Each structure stands twice: as structure tokens, then as C-alpha cells.
Amino acid sequence: MTPSDAEMSDERDGMTPAKSQPNSVPNKKIFPTIIMSSRLLLRVAQPASRTGAVRSGAKRMASGSPGTGPGMGDEWATQAQAALRQAQTYANANPWTRYAAGGVAVLGGMWLVVGGKKGKAVAGEDGHSQHTAKDDARNDVDAKIQKYTKSLANSNEKPSTRNAPGSSSVAKGSAVVSTPAKQEDEDICMRDKMAAFVRKMQAKIVDSLDAIEVQAAKELGITPKLLVRDEWIRAEGGAGLSCVLQNGNVFEKAGVLVSVVHGPASPELIKQMRARKKEGIMEEGNYRMFAAGCSMVLHPHNPNAPTAHLNYRYFELSREGEDKPAAAWFGGGCDLTPSYLYEEDAVQFHQVIKDVCDKHDASYYPKFKKWCDDYFYVPHRKEMRGVGGIFFDDMEHGDHNKIFKWVEECGLSFTDQYMPIIRRRWNAPFSEEMKRWQQLCRGRYVEFNLVYDRGTKFGLVTPGARIESIMCSLPLTARWEYMHEPAEGSREAELVKVLKAPREWVV
């Protein structure tokens, strides 16, 4: 399971407040209200044939049709005059409307008095609109998050790079405040940074997968099949986006899942965290959890093309009523599971992730490569699930911003790890015997995921867990045969030998 999606835009959030136009009318909000109310009151007396027209007019006023924007004082005056003429016409036609017109006049006077006082409360002496402290705080936070997300979307090489080296601007109130880029990055809470990052990573991977499916369809002369986008809401808190393809032209099954969820932590979850010796987690007390992550599994049709898996995540536990996390950590990794061994594929996959690791800490790749070999081990088969990659979990010590930068670059490098491999393997010739072996290998994959995988266990004890997301990692088809052994000296036997004795693919 993955702990997807930050559509947090509001046209006015994070922007400099607009200046109000010259005060040609006492309070522009008064006129639409008076006009709309007058038309609704006049409906009491109007003929049935006029009902539709007046209802339409009221809807136009309520929805803010032309004339509802700033600086439209003249148009409001025109609308008001038209409403008064209409009221006079109705009054002449039906005596009941005189009472309605009188009611409109009384309401209009009240609105003028109350609206004028309210106008003074929300407008400064110079006529400029003023935000409350709560609005300023919200706009400030939203602006930072939107700016960070925008920087991710606009950057191809280094997603965390800001718009200008060394500095950036954040809209706050009516002034633009310049702050150092590093400080701004640290001011954005880790929850928001991870939420933005996993969505960015998902979009990049899905775009690449769709492009491969489209290219394959062109070469085959058939209709392309793209990943289906499935947005979902978690009742306990949070949401996600699952992008899934079944029976595509290249992939038998592909899933790229994002979730950003929060809510009460179950006793079973707390028990798991204590078993993993999480510092700060006590047995007693109520906790809330937050998790953000992207998980991906790709199962190609062609046995020459390897299965690939990726997961990068961030998790927090906080005591009920407290903002500061009692525990927070990162986890994730990526790994490759071939049915037929191509050494150049394994080297490419490992080299790309090693280069990323070395940029941040030279100890990362050897440490997390070994952890991957150990983690993706199937004890009852006495073999690894594949040719590895990296795996890490419980990264809670040290500078979280630096850890995030590394995690971010690892995730965004996946397309360089895997896409060249699938492009050269997806249409390679294969036999029925090779397809049968691929299904047997996928049986091993299923065994590991259902019996040993931490992500599966974590998902199943999370309140409100989405089972479809948890089980999305499983292949569409798999096979088990009694006492099957590959022939000595075969390519299948060569793979098994590697799975029983992990190699060092890069130096």
C-alpha cells in the first residue's frame, strides 16, 4: 500500500489583495443583494408567465453575471434602476406588488446601514481591502506550498531548485517579501513537501508509461491503451490517486499509486511501531498518523522484460492534540525482478540509483543495496525475489530536509533506471515455454508480497485501508507447479543461481 494527490489553488490565495475602485457606490455588495431580493419578493405577485424570466434573473445575480466585479458601479446603478422600473410596472398591474415594493424599500434601507458599517470594517481608510490575520496565515502557507509544487513541475533536472539562485519571493498580504530559498524550503512542513513530491513523481512515471504504450501501439498498428486515473477519498482522512493499466500493449498490469492519508492510529499499528523500536511511541495514549507515498509495480507481457517495483514514503505519528510528531521517518526503495537475466539491464538499473546515492552520501548505495538483497529474500524458497536495487526504512535520525532531497532525487530518477530497459525488451521474441517460466516467477513474487512484505502488513492494519491499492502490486496472472525444477544449464537455471547468490552489479 502506498501512503496520492495538492490541488490547493484558489485564485485569490497567496496573491496581493486587489485595490477597491473609487467609492462610486457606498457598498457594491448591497446592490446585487437588493436587486436579487426585490425580484424574489416581486415573484409573489407576478403573473405565472413571468416566473421563469424572474427566476433566471435571480440566478444570474446570485452567480455573479456581468456587473458583479470590482469597479462596476455604473452597471450596478443601471441594474438597480431597471429593477425599480420593473417594480413600478408590477405595482401598477397588481396591488399586491405595492406591499412587495415597500418591503424592498425597507430591506434596502437596512442593508444600506448595515452594509455601510460592514464596509468600514473590511476596508481601510484609503479604500483598500484588508485581510484578517487568519486569511493572511492561510495565504502565506498556501503560497509557499504552491510555490514548492510549481518548482517541482518546472524543474527537469533538480526538482528542488528555486526560481532564482539563492532567493525567492513569497506573496504575503499586499507586499512581496524576499526570503532565502533554503529558509523557505525549511519553512514548508515535511508533510506538504512529501505530498507535492509523490504527486510529481507519479505524474512523471505515468507520462512515461503512457508514452511507451502509445509508441508500441504505433509500431503494432493497433489502438493504444493508457493508464486509468482513479481518484478516491479515505473516510478517516486523506485521499489518493491510483493510475492503473490492465492488459495494455506493453504491460499486462501497471499500477502507480499515490496516497496522502491521516487520522487515528490503530492499536495494531502502534504495536507494530513499538516492535520496530520507534523512539517516542508509548504503549498508552492515543495517536494520530500521517502517511504520504508513491508505490509502483510494473508487470510487462514479454518475459524478456523485467518486473519493476518502487516505493518512497514518509510517515508521522503524533500524540492526540499535539502538533509536533512523536516519531517521523522515511522509507522506500526500488528493485528489479527479471524472468530472464540480461546483465546490462541489471547494471543500468543499479548504476542510475548508485549515482544518485553517491551525490548525497557515499555510504548509501552499498548499505541500502545490501538491505535490499536481505529484505527481498523468500526464506521458504531460499532465494531473492529479483536482482535487487536499494531498500531503506526507519530513516528518522539526521537532517530530515537533507534526507528528503535524497529521497526526492531517487524517486524522480526511476524513469532513467527503467524506461530504456523496457523500450529494448518489450517486443523481443519469446516462446510459450518462456511465458510459462515467467508465470512461475510471478508465483514467487506473489508469495513474497503476501507473506513477508512490510507494506502489505502495514496496509492491512491501517484503519480505512484501501484493499484495491494494497493488492495492486500483484500480477494479473501467475502460476504454481508441483516440484518444478529448471533444466541444468538453461537460462532459467542461470537466473535461479543469481537469485540464490546476490551479485554486485556496479562498483
Active-site positions read 309
DSSP state of 4: -
The values of phi and psi at residue 140, to 5°, are: -65, -45
Q: Which residues lie across from 388 on neighbouring strands?
A: 336
Q: Which of 459, 328, 296, 335 is nearest to 404 (CA)?
A: 328
Residue 100, helix vs strand vs coil: helix
3-state secondary structure of 253: strand
Three cell numbers, residue 399: 537532517
The H or E element spanning position 140 is helix 133-154
Q: What share of the chain is helix, strand, coil (3-state, %, to 5)?
A: 50, 20, 35
- DSSP assignment string, 454-504: HHHHHHHTSTT--HHHHGGGS-S-----TT--PPTTSHHHHHHHHHHS---
Write out the DSSP string of 162-179. Answer: -SBTTEEEEEETTEEEEE
CB burial of 115-132 (b: ≥16 within 10 Å; e: otherwise) equals beeebeeeeeeeeeeebe
* CB contact at 8 A, 393 and 329: yes
Instruction: State the sign of the Cα–Cα–Cα–Cα dihedral 233, 236, 238, 242.
Output: negative
Cell numbers linked to 170? 513569497
Distance CA 407, CA 153 (A): 17
